[in-house]
Amino acid sequence: MREFTAEEGGAQHCRRDYLPPACEVLADWLEEKLKSAEATA
């Protein structure tokens, strides 16, 4: 779970229809996990 600050756009919507910030965080997390898995393979 991650809360976004107003500076990050978290105050713009209180519903799930504003996904770009969450998608960026998810993509960064996935990239980190894939790189980690690749390094241990």
Grouping H, G, I as helix, E, B as strand and the rest as coil, residue 22 is helix
Residue 16 confidence (pLDDT): 66
Phi–psi pair at 16, nearest 5 degrees: -90, 15
Which is more confidently placed, 34 or 12?
Answer: 34
Reported pTM: 0.65
Per-residue pLDDT reduced to its tens digit, 15-38: 666 788 888 999 999 999 999 999
Q: Say how far apart CA 10 and CA 25 lie, in whole Å.
A: 13
Phi–psi pair at 19, nearest 5 degrees: -95, -15
Give the residue extent of every domain in the chain. 17-41
Residue 28 confidence (pLDDT): 96
Residue 29 confidence (pLDDT): 95
Residue 3 confidence (pLDDT): 83
Burial of 4 (0-12, 13-18, 19+ CB in 10 A): middle
